[in-house]
Structure 1
């Protein structure tokens, strides 16, 4: 066992460019782990080992120990911890790995983990990169197939950072069959006009779309097309996100709600959804509150909103109402053109809005910035109480 541990250290230090700061804890761990193992195998207390050596909390250790009841010696867990330390994982990071996947302690270091590191290093990943992947990949890192998957994913996502972002959104992305599930879905999405960067962005928002049954992905694309958004158009990715894992019944119910609440005709609903398909995933209460404000208080017509439906995306308290108050105040004070479009004011960035509608009026309306800030917090300053 001592020979094995020395081989692990030698391999890690020679192949993963471990820093000096990471080498020291590795040596300390190996030094501690060379202590003689009790001659009585049954004396190995898994739960205590998880707490005292791995750094798990007592509840975590109790839960994890149920999966490790077969362990009779700390030999392999010691080697795994040395391996993780050699990659540069802190004790807290290693504890998180073990808590997430207790069976990681049973992985074969020379048989599995070292070859995986070799393969990932061959793909251009540094030891720091690999350590980050270990933290997010969970039990999938214990399989050599992770190398072939990363060989495919890195070019698709463009960088390890992009892939890890997708992995955080969906831990299953390393699980399905690459050839029967992932690759067919990617090929189909490309046929729909999505570039690889679009597919990556879709994965961040529409979780598990790459891991879904390819027939289901095709059905989602067909549903998106029925919204009046053709494949290859710039809006198709958002349309696909809007209908991903949403039933036909749910879509039909949302369409009926839009028609009844905003008084849209079939034509107006079709126009709105073709320009803002994510309305299908907005809550009914949110749609009701925002449309009520825009129609009753701002005075917008339903047809006007249908042709500019993204206005319904904006927060009522954080943007719509405060900016309406400012615009109305400025119009009544004669400080802006009375024909200034509320839609234009709403869709501008925060910086543009402040620079254009707040800062130029410091002398004529010295209270305006303070009142606007208060309105964004849900208050209604006296200057914004119109009769």
Structure 2
């Protein structure tokens, strides 16, 4: 899941396409596929992908690992797809990826209290859906678009700019809980360093490996700050490891965290020298505290000095892009270029979707 966003600054002109993509586009557009259809598909992808990301984060913050119980409609398609393991993709374990757009709408309706801040006024949102579903049907059935279809989607994206900014910026508005105020297992275990693994690794990792740890929390816009951080809805834990002289092998790291994967909301790897885990405070606090310890061990075991773990000697833009592409191809929870980790109050002015809209003044939430 990666959010498309563009800061309000000049963009360099360059092609992001590999040779295979260039060849396919040259063969198909415009001789077989109208240019407008390609643009329409790209914008729809952007819109629907964003709504899936938004639903995912809010359901994880609300329900923790039990979020999947809200998506039973996806189980049939997902199990059928699972039979073709040789064709699995990063989305294969994401139940939201198996729901049609029309199936996303009831989920949004049920969880309107958690999602409304990022959407339109309720009547406007409901009224917009019939037109959007018509556009989606045209795309799905390879019908030529109406001349106003692209404009309809781009207007919706512009209307969602403010909410998308708040969604991502609130994710990155973080604070470190005071160990004297909060007594939950994560705070006492990792901020007060009372967890056995914390006592074993924090100082040792810093001195011997140049690996440091940062533990913070953020609050979703629909929640209020609680008096306790134990099994609370609407709060996310952010556990970041910074590697001064070492590089993470993302595939090895992800494999090493298999036993706690149901607790992981996101794994963020912006570059080989950082690994950030997000957990939902709605889950059992002791389980999260123990998971942080497992992640700590996994980061140390899945990293090597320099860039050797990835075969990288010079992290220029091209190599970094390839590294990020490989990381994001592993699992839908792995992020490397996502607005969930980039957008904050300092990135204004910003266009979240690049569809003609922008957030120029910091909104309240």
- Name the TM-score class by shorter chain: under 0.3
Higher relative contact order (CA 8 A, sep 6+): 2
Which has the larger share of strand? 2
TM-score by length of 2: 0.21
Which has the larger share of helix? 1
